[in-house]
Structure 1
């Protein structure tokens, strides 16, 4: 699936173009660039983002339509009018916190200011605003009904990347004291959390996700955060600290690390630095055990 030359989002975008073309041909005397453009840029990677961004872009469209209409009545040189309209549109979109809709709002302002010699500015502005809203609606419906994006797959993939990286980063940290991989691990943790949050938002709209698998990844987010926190804490330890025999055995069993150490510390013989190191290491091992434990879930294809 990952190696397909043409992905599902590409196919849906092509379908949106066809539907937009047909709808535009029916409701307009000529093809509407605003309708087709709006539909194409609103094909999103999740159902929730389709709703949210679609809603924001409708607001952006209204803002662009109003500003475009206002600017079309100002008797200035065309380029100055468009430039002023663009600046005003950006300010309003920032004010309304719909920054992702700024592009479509600006496009609409330019389309309206460019205008049509056959229609009054007010009628032309309303036509283009309506076209843009229709394009957004088409894209949102297609994204919902035609093979809606599966956020659980993205969560699985991002967690697998984090888990594989964690295994190598912790190994390098314990064996060689190399902590360079922590930045990569932190980035992948953020990616895993972001994809899980997107999945979380979809639960109220889509009921297709298995609750047991969802609960598992909710626990894995917490465990992954602990892996990163305690890996960072362990990396800050002094180079001469000694490991307890218990931590040594658990690391060997968990990661098959050949840690050559003949002298181990006990609670009685530990220095303050040894105790801190082994505390963080024990917490790291505990969190690693949770994320490295393999789990399989039965996928019910009838839900998709």
Structure 2
């Protein structure tokens, strides 16, 4: 049953990726992009296992892309194109992102954007602009497809977790009653405190 569910999730991901990539490519072309492949790139990266993860990754991708473009697009036409200059740009850009206390996922997006803008902006002057627009298009389409086309269903997993939690709570209350009947022994009290802490962590999860 579990294997069947995994296969079903993989199949839905395959369909979502294909449909969202096709739609985002065409949407980017309609928006006037000369680099429509950037939109499906965002789709492929942003389709995470859950909608919540997809949304968070999408925000990180947009933020990282915007920061990378702001740091690179003006400088790139005035700098020599070699590995050492790329390394310096990556070092400066990612260090600024780190200084701003940005999530590590955004750091990766900043680095990726710096690399691509550094490589393509000389030959296509509108690459940086296309990249930010196409990234937004890809992100929006990825989230919409993820939400409305075979949305992930974790209801059964949540129900199983609650059943496990109910058993643990029952065991904890049973142990607590035995501890009270045994006149509140200190050794047993420490054990009960440990079990209750574990139960609270499980509940939080």
Pairwise same-fold verdict (TM > 0.5): yes
Number of residue pairs matched by the alignment: 189
CA distance in 1 between counterparts of 2:153 and 2:24 reads: 25
Q: What do the CA deviations read for 1:99-157 (whole angstroms, capped 9, x no partner)?
A: 2123333222212111255543xx33112221222211221222222232234334235
Q: Would you say 1:103 and 2:108 are equivalent positions?
A: yes
CA distance in 1 between counterparts of 2:113 and 2:144 reads: 22
Q: Secondary structure at the match of 1:2?
A: helix
CA distance in 1 between counterparts of 2:141 and 2:110 reads: 18
Q: Would you say 1:36 and 2:45 are equivalent positions?
A: no
TM-score (ref. length: structure 2):
0.69
The answer to whether the 8 Å contact 2:64/2:110 transfers is yes
The answer to whether the 8 Å contact 1:82/1:110 transfers is yes
Going by fraction, where is helix more abundant, 1 or 2? 2
1:156 corresponds to? 159
The answer to whether the 8 Å contact 1:60/1:98 transfers is no
The answer to whether the 8 Å contact 2:72/2:89 transfers is yes
The answer to whether the 8 Å contact 2:26/2:36 transfers is no
Cα 1:66–1:143 change in 2 (3 A) is: same
1:131 to 131, 134, 147: 134
The answer to whether the 8 Å contact 2:20/2:145 transfers is yes
Cα shift at 1:88: 2.5
CA distance in 2 between counterparts of 1:124 and 1:79 reads: 20
1:144 corresponds to? 147
- When the two chains are superposed, the root-mean-square deviation of aligned CA atoms in Å is 4.0
Cα shift at 1:41: 0.6
The answer to whether the 8 Å contact 1:116/1:124 transfers is yes
2:52 corresponds to? 48
Moved over 6 A (4+): none
CA distance in 1 between counterparts of 2:160 and 2:92 reads: 42
CA distance in 2 between counterparts of 1:78 and 1:143 reads: 40
Q: What do the CA deviations read for 1:169-206 (whole angstroms, capped 9, x no partner)?
A: xxxxxxxxxxxxxxxxxxxxxxxxxxxxxxxxxxxxxx
1:276 corresponds to? 187
Q: State the structure with bigger RCO (CA 8 A, min sep 6), 1 or 2.
A: 2
The answer to whether the 8 Å contact 2:34/2:130 transfers is no
CA distance in 2 between counterparts of 1:85 and 1:152 reads: 46
Cα 1:29–1:131 change in 2 (3 A) is: closer
Cα 1:69–1:278 change in 2 (3 A) is: closer
Q: Would you say 1:89 and 2:35 are equivalent positions?
A: no
Larger-Rg structure? 1
2:77 corresponds to? 73
Cα shift at 1:221: 11
1:254 corresponds to? none
Q: Which runs of 5+ in 1 are unaligned?
A: 164-216, 231-245, 248-265, 292-304
